[in-house]
Amino acid sequence: MTQKNSNFSRRVFIKTASVGAVAGSAMPGLACRAKKSEHTGILDVRPHELMLIVAKIGAGLKDDLGDARLTEILQIVRRDPSQPITLKCPVTSNYSFQNPDELTEPEEERLFYLRSDLYILQRMGMAPGVTKPAIEFFQRLYDGVKTAKGILYFDEITADTWKGLEKEGRNYDKGRAMGNRIVIPVRDQKEEAEYKIDSVKVMYEADRLKIRPHHLMCMTCFYGRQTFKPISEDNLFEAIDVIQKTPEIPVELVCGPCMICPPCYNYNPGTGQCVSPFSMAVRDELKDLSVLQALGLKYGDVLPARELYTLLFDRIHVQTQICGWGDGVVTSPEWTVCTAGPEPGPEYAKGRAAGLGFLNQ
């Protein structure tokens, strides 16, 4: 990224430097190198502990949940929403390979907690031993476990073994009613607005755009929408505007979040990564690779915008080809699609037909 303005403030530079850092190395072939996570380790959690954290917040507690174990989990995942968690429970089946090393609940309550664990996993569409970023687990909990009734508490107590946790269960219901981001709050809107201003400034002053491959298609869909104007949550409009004004500007294809991402509510400025609760990061990585494969390119390649978009529209005719995995079928929540089915969406078709507003001129 090139600074053309000598008055470019230190605040702007510090904030937007992360864009260049995560946009990939300038050296072709080294732009995207897989590396081991920097997390200190995987956190083992019982499924019912996820519900109890929501219950504590539903009861009005904030940072200190009044339970050392739950408070520690909360602090870790708020500090790093991508913290990997493995959901474990003590089963007797062939999933026993993942059983917790120790159990803390009284022996007379173990059947209740095991049933709770398995029911939560069933509602989340998962199995014991699954590992995911923390933010995804709490979203799946919100989506799948709509009430604690039948899990933490029951209409009828059939025996002491099954007396459950009615108070905690009802507090879970209260906590869930507060929204899906009470455990891991959304990004501060003021910060998003500041990053929007700063990153747009960098983009308009740059002599090269750094764009992740599938965002070329997002830009096309954005241009094909009924309303084409700037929005607060990304820089799609601005990237298109730069290209329309300077069609020969070099575009470097980069790995991971790019110049379009800093204002996004899923963008983590600390890591320069996407922390979507909907597995967006891994889904988008496959889309990036599929675009590169279709174009015969790789991370770090640099082409003039006109040449790049001519190639894109020649090789990728419909959005389902990339964003719908070719058939538009959703195989799991991790692999959602950006199109309603096997037929192409109108936005990409419209944007492609218009040549993104500059190819046909």
pLDDT in tens, 134-146: 999 999 999 999 9
Is the predicted pLDDT of residue 2 greater than 90, yes or no? Answer: no
Q: Average model confidence (pLDDT) for the chain?
A: 89
Q: What is the rounded distance in angstroms from the CA atom of residue 235 to the CA atom of residue 218?
A: 11
Lowest mean pLDDT among 206-210, 217-221, 341-345: 341-345
Dihedral class, residue 184 (left if φ above 0, else alpha if ψ from -120 to 50, else beta): beta
Strands 273-274 and 267-268: antiparallel
pLDDT digits (tens, 9 = 90+) for 213-251: 999 999 999 999 988 999 999 999 999 999 999 999 999
Q: What is the pTM of this model?
A: 0.87
Written as six digits, the tokens of 292 are 């590169």
Q: What is the rounded distance in angstroms from the CA atom of residue 75 to the CA atom of residue 87?
A: 18
Confidence at 343, pLDDT banded by 50, 70, 90: low
Q: What phi, psi does 267 have (nearest 5°)?
A: -85, 130
Closest CA to 46 of 135, 108, 144, 119: 119
Q: What is the DSSP letter of 37?
A: -
**What is the structure's pLDDT at 360?**
86
Taking CA atoms, 68 is separated from 53, 57, 65, 72, 297, in Å, by 11, 14, 8, 6, 51
Using the structure block, give the residue that is written with the tokens 């820089």. Answer: 235
Confidence at 270, pLDDT banded by 50, 70, 90: confident
Cβ distance 108 to 161 under 8 Å?
Answer: yes
Q: What is the rounded distance in angstroms from the CA atom of residue 65 to the CA atom of residue 50?
A: 13
Q: What is the rounded distance in angstroms from the CA atom of residue 57 to the CA atom of residue 182?
A: 8
Is the predicted pLDDT of residue 21 greater than 60, yes or no? Answer: no
Cβ distance 181 to 160 under 8 Å?
Answer: no
140 or 270: which leads in pLDDT? 140
Closest CA to 47 of 127, 157, 109: 127
